[in-house]
Amino acid sequence: MIRSEQERVRLESLAQLRQLGIDPYPAAAYPVDTHAGPLSADFAADREVCLAGRILSRRIMGKASFAELQDATGKIQIYLNRDELCPDEDKTMYNTVFKKLLDRGDIVGVKGTTFTTQTGEPSVLVKELTVLSKSIRPLPSVKTDEDGKVHDAFTDPELRYRMRYVDLVVNPEVKRTFEARSRVIQAMRDAFTEKGWLEVDTPVLQAIPGGAAARPFITHHNALDIPLYLRIANELYLKRLIVGGFDGVFEFSRNFRNEGMDRTHNPEFTVLELYVAYQDYHWMMETIEQLLERVCQAVHGTNTATLEGNTIDFAPPYRRLSMRDAILEHAGVDIDGMDEAALRGACAELGIEVDDSMGKGKLIDEIFGEKCEHHLVQPTFITDYPVEMSPLTKAHRDKPGYTERFELFINGTEVANAYSELNDPIDQRERFEEQLKLGERGDDEAMFIDQDFLRALEFGMPPTSGVGIGVDRLVMMLTDQRSIQEVLFFPQMRPEVFRSGPDLDALEAMGVPSEWAPHVAAAGFDTPEAIREAKPTALREKLNGFRKKNKLDLPALQLEEVESWSA
RNA sequence: GACCCCCUAGCUCAGUUGGUUAGAGCAUCUCACUUUUAAUGAGAGGGUCCUGGGUUCGAGCCCCAGGGGGGUCACCA
């Protein structure tokens, strides 16, 4: 493994710590009794404290030094004075351990007394310093000046997402985003459990990937010798539980869709699904309004959030607009009563591209997506979707051709999708068969038919309202993030290729003379494996050929010598 | 999948028309410094210019192919 200069220095420091009898990775628990955030927020001098964290910066001035210690809650300055830290003759702990062998990024524990410096900075005078973990890679050197301006920020998205641990250490606002994410989920869970609804787990591995229209990831179960799919949705399982007699069930469901990735799509994403018996979609709109107000309060302490410069007001009630009226309002077209041909004509007039596989539902969705979505900045319920685009939704109680469905849009993005759930088993079977026809027309996202789900409906499902909320997108809205990657700790990336480079130390360890090692590597045998895999006779020939070609001032290799390497 | 942009030291970035030994700030190392805070002062080291080909007397720079990332679009209720 190739080490940079700074890494080699740190590895050397690590070795020297061990020589001094200091374990750089001690096993024992460290008795932390104070945290940096609360300590500096509510600072009082002359308190004995014990805290632990990562050294973020050091300012060494001879016999006294300052360092910033960062723990999970924040930062506090620590002050190390040679004679306070080492009251006896032996000044090793200060002169050698702290000044020479510790680095930015190392994790230490300190015991000492709080005080305020001459410049008014709350600090801890360190009486005892314990090495808790030695860091051998240098952290990016992010600095903040007195105006709060950040210099040399760690900003490369690739590095930030691949090394989220580094991102979290040096970019404190990233931590805030994920803390907000946790509060969003917690607020929802609290709201539902208070109502007596049951949090459940349903299968991620499914034989039939149902409940949504999307391309699934496929895998294989060896013992059963069958294909299995990672779920694209959990909807049909939660409805089975409503059939089984629960009044309310919810699940934070990690779903997987084998489709494109962009600012708002990650192959795996989280949806909160909630189903409540004996309710309809009107009730669900009120429930969602109240829920989002509560969630916004949990994150911001107010009913509003700022998003791309817009103030989003999460206080109920939200505007309710039927899909027909939305299209009428923004595209000037009345879709009511239009057949497929008329819709195609409308799309052509509006300059919307369509293809032959699209049925009525998809055509309407195209118009809506193209002409309406981006206008919906404040939270808006779009209601009453055409039956063709909603195969799991109950037909509208008094608008033929429409369904009792709504989607919630915020800032032009769909955040929630809810129905009065279709519980008529005959109708549901017909809807699935329609989907099958769409699939035959070339719509590769048409739904699969789930016979067991139909059987469950045939036993009788109470009238039910269900909703799915895109948790990742909601968190984006509440944290003013433009990319889903910013609200997922580990967004999907292409696997990183680790180029190991020639391992000269390993070559020498197996007996390759140090003067030969770089040349052996250059000749293409840059790892011990490469040497072991080669026949010694062929290896010797190649290396001596390399020696001749490059006029190396080294004696030719003997066969016994080459054989001894792989022995 | 298409198009555009990016990839140079640990980090953030310069790098002129293709021309000597590839630069800066921070970080690192050495020395000085007992209340600093982007500490300071002096000195030093550190590079697979993403990879592989090509053109050329000469490539970080031009050409071709590949890799990774970002953006826009397409796809995606």
**Tell me: the pLDDT tens digits for A32-54?**
999 999 999 999 999 999 999 99
Question: Which residue is closest to B12 in terms of CA–C1' distance?
Answer: A152
Helix A235-243 crosses helix A451-459 at what angle (to 10 degrees)? Answer: 30
- Cα–Cα distance, A397 to A23 (Å, whole number): 73
Which of residues 156-175 of A have CB within 7 Å of strand B?
156-159, 161
The answer, yes or no, to whether residue A164 has pLDDT greater than 90, is yes
Range with top average pLDDT, A397-411, A433-447, A530-544: A397-411
pLDDT in tens, A511-536: 777 666 655 655 556 566 666 656 67
For residue A148, which amino acid is it? G
Q: Give the long-range contacts of residues A141-145, CB within 8 A, separation 24 or more.
A: A141/A104, A142/A170, A142/A171, A143/A57
Q: Which residues of A11-49 are buried (b: 16+ CB within 10 A; e: fewer)?
A: eebbeebeeeebebeeeeeeeeebbbeebbeeeeeeeeb
Higher pLDDT, A440 or A340: A340
For residue A358 the two structure tokens come to 């699209």
| Distance, CA of A378 to C1' of B72, in Å | 25
For residue A551, what pLDDT is reported? 46
For residue A295, what pLDDT is reported? 97
- The mean-pLDDT minimum among A1-5, A151-155, A366-370 falls in A1-5
Question: Which residue is closest to B29 in terms of CA–C1' distance?
Answer: A9
Which of residues 332-371 of A have CB within 7 Å of strand B?
353, 361, 365, 369
The answer, yes or no, to whether residue A267 has pLDDT greater than 80, is yes
**If you average pLDDT over residues A242-250, what whole number do you get?**
97
For residue A510, what pLDDT is reported? 72
Please check whether strand B approaches the CB of A243 to within 7 Å. no
Closest nt by CA–C1' to A100: B29
pLDDT in tens, A171-228: 989 999 999 999 999 999 999 999 999 999 999 999 988 888 888 899 999 999 999 9
- Cα–Cα distance, A445 to A354 (Å, whole number): 16
pLDDT in tens, A271-284: 999 999 999 999 99
CB distance A82 to A65 below 8 Å: no
For residue A546, what pLDDT is reported? 53
Residue A517, classified by CB atoms within 10 Å of its CB into exposed (0-12), middle (13-18) or buried (19+), is buried
**If you average pLDDT over residues A399-414, what whole number do you get?**
91
Closest nt by CA–C1' to A61: B33
**If you average pLDDT over residues A544-552, what whole number do you get?**
53
The answer, yes or no, to whether residue A565 has pLDDT greater than 50, is yes
SS3 assignment, position A253: strand
Share of residues in chain A with pLDDT > 70 (%): 89
The answer, yes or no, to whether residue A443 has pLDDT greater than 50, is yes
The answer, yes or no, to whether residue A543 has pLDDT greater than 70, is no
Which of residues 430-469 of A have CB within 7 Å of strand B?
445, 447
| Distance, CA of A14 to C1' of B21, in Å | 35
Please check whether strand B approaches the CB of A535 to within 7 Å. no
pLDDT in tens, A364-401: 888 888 888 888 999 999 999 988 778 899 999 999 88
Query: What is the dihedral sign for C-alpha A353, A438, A266, A365?
Result: positive
The answer, yes or no, to whether residue A539 has pLDDT greater than 80, is no
Please check whether strand B approaches the CB of A100 to within 7 Å. yes
Those nucleotides of strand B lying less than 7 Å from any protein Cβ are: 1, 9-13, 25-30, 32-40, 45-48, 67-77
**If you average pLDDT over residues A308-336, what whole number do you get?**
91
Higher pLDDT, A166 or A544: A166
Please check whether strand B approaches the CB of A151 to within 7 Å. yes
Please check whether strand B approaches the CB of A504 to within 7 Å. no
- Mean pLDDT, rounded, of chain A: 88
Please check whether strand B approaches the CB of A58 to within 7 Å. yes
For residue A343 the two structure tokens come to 């819709």
Closest nt by CA–C1' to A83: B34
Residue A321: its H or E element: strand A319-322
For residue A508, what pLDDT is reported? 64
ipTM: 0.89
CB distance A456 to A275 below 8 Å: no
Q: How many CA atoms lie within 13 A of A230 on its CB side?
A: 14
For residue A214, what pLDDT is reported? 85
For residue A549, what pLDDT is reported? 47
For residue A165, what pLDDT is reported? 94
Higher pLDDT, A303 or A338: A303
Ramachandran quadrant class, A21 (left: phi over 0; alpha: psi -120 to 50; beta: rest): left
Please check whether strand B approaches the CB of A138 to within 7 Å. yes
Which of residues 213-232 of A have CB within 7 Å of strand B?
213-214
**If you average pLDDT over residues A477-494, what whole number do you get?**
92
For residue A231, what pLDDT is reported? 94
SS3 assignment, position A553: coil
What DSSP designation does A94 have? Answer: I
Which of residues 266-295 of A have CB within 7 Å of strand B?
none
Please check whether strand B approaches the CB of A92 to within 7 Å. no
The DSSP bridge partners found for residue A470 are A271
**If you average pLDDT over residues A59-80, what whole number do you get?**
95
For residue A544, what pLDDT is reported? 67
Please check whether strand B approaches the CB of A374 to within 7 Å. no
Closest nt by CA–C1' to A166: B11
Higher pLDDT, A514 or A337: A337
